[in-house]
Amino acid sequence: LFNKVAGLFDTMGWEVITLKYGHLQRAAFREPGGERLRDWIDNAPNTLYSALAFQGGAAWRGQLQADLADAPETLKLIERHDDEALAALMTNLGGHDLAALLEAFEAAPDDRPVCFIAYTIKGFGLPFQGHKDNHAGMMTRQQMEEFRATNGLAEGEEWDKFAGLKLPADRLQAFLEQVPFNSRGTRRLSAERVAVEPVEAPRVAGGGTLSTQEGFGRIMNDLARSNSALAARIVTTSPDVTVSTNLGPWVNRRGLFARREVKDIFKERGLMSAQRWEKGPQGQHIELGIAENNLFLLLAAAGLSHSLFGERLIPIGTLYDPFIQRGLDALNYACYQDARFILVATPSGITLAPEGGAHQSISTPLIGIAQDGLAAFEPAFVDELAVIMEWAFDYVQREGEEAGADAGPPPGWLRDEKGGSVYLR
């Protein structure tokens, strides 16, 4: 499995760093017979390795002696370790070796994304480490007392900051105060709010009617034509439904984003098209494939730009309404992280054939109602859509202070002051 994971990230251009062996194992591999021990570790099934990690040193010894009976140098290496030392050696995987982790982090390049693959034993250091039933395991009182003693903790000191550590507390505190994580101040940045100008409802010549879906597209087109600070901060994105969710005029005026200039081949060859798909670093629309989970990941990242980078963006994502369910996990975590974005979802009409029923959005209003951090609207008229959008552009920028520990009771669940994201259906 790890080879497949590594191959996937390598194919995508990531640096892949695998942490499989700790320092104890690496040292053992350099001894006579060490290569054979390494081969055994590499070829041992995960289930066997886990069971032996649970059973301990004597079980490791018995298994290794049986499997490596034809490797006398390796058997001598094993005999130089008592049961406790042998168990420590065989469970010294890279993901549990702090020195190995630090070396890997220091060696990682900083100019490309990095995937760390760390081998670990589930429940490492606990009495039931490696056991297949340990996911919800609870230690007995006796096991907890033994665990406390093993870690050098006196009874009643379990929650003390530096309990069980050998270095003096003042030295540890001084070190922590100087590490980059703490010395750089707050990691949560902020950005100025962008002025929101009035959003006018588009008018139809001759007094005709206009759907809210088309009205949204016209409002976005009006914003694209303007030179407002708000329009300059809007970033739109869509999972392969840009035109059918009425973002076409916006994209024609504001362009698609790409790291390098890309010409519109259809335009270059004189082929008729209502869309101008020219790409470049100045583009304000990010086109995605049919992957709604990626849409919500992007909305989450762009919706935290003010907090992460000190630059405010106003992300707007469009998709077909029923397919919100494809990205629910990412949507939930985006709201949980307090990302700010506007989600515009298009319900299908009533003219679909029976086989198109999967495009009908019946349950999505429940998602909008239930999801904390997401204000949900279902505008029926274009004039109220304009009012809601003007309000939404302000709402996604609000950053009311959280109630502190000494600030009295919290203000409740209403997010009017604190702000949040917006879902338009």
pLDDT digits (tens, 9 = 90+) for 125-153: 999 999 999 888 899 999 999 999 999 99
| pLDDT, tens digit, 9 for 90 and up, residues 56-82 | 999 999 999 999 999 999 999 999 999
User: Which residues belong to CATH 3.40.50.970 in the chain?
Assistant: 210-401+413-424
pLDDT of residue 219: 97
Which tokens belong to 114? Answer: 């990095």
How far apart (Å, rounded) are the C-alpha atoms in residues 298 and 378?
24
| pLDDT, tens digit, 9 for 90 and up, residues 144-187 | 999 999 999 999 999 999 999 999 999 999 999 888 888 777 77
CB 83 within 8 A of CB 8: no
Q: What amino acid is encoded at 30 in this protein?
A: R
pLDDT of residue 34: 97
pLDDT of residue 266: 87
Asked whether the predicted pLDDT for residue 361 surpasses 90, the reply is no
CB 273 within 8 A of CB 224: no
Q: Nearest Cα to 316, choosing from 389, 373, 377, 375?
A: 389
At the topology level, CATH places domain 210-401+413-424 in Rossmann fold (3.40.50)
Q: In this structure, what are the phi and psi dihedrals at residue 62, rounded to the nearest 5 degrees? A: -60, -45
Q: Which of 152-161, 228-237, 335-344 has the lowest mean pLDDT?
A: 152-161
Average pLDDT of the chain is: 91
Q: Which residue has the higher pLDDT, 135 or 195?
A: 195
| pLDDT, tens digit, 9 for 90 and up, residues 285-304 | 999 999 999 999 999 999 99
Q: Which of 68-82, 179-193, 372-386, 388-402 has the lowest mean pLDDT?
A: 179-193
pLDDT of residue 404: 44
Highest mean pLDDT: which range of 27-31, 241-245, 349-353, 365-369: 27-31
CB 319 within 8 A of CB 367: no
314 forms beta bridges with 234
How far apart (Å, rounded) are the C-alpha atoms in residues 25 and 49?
15
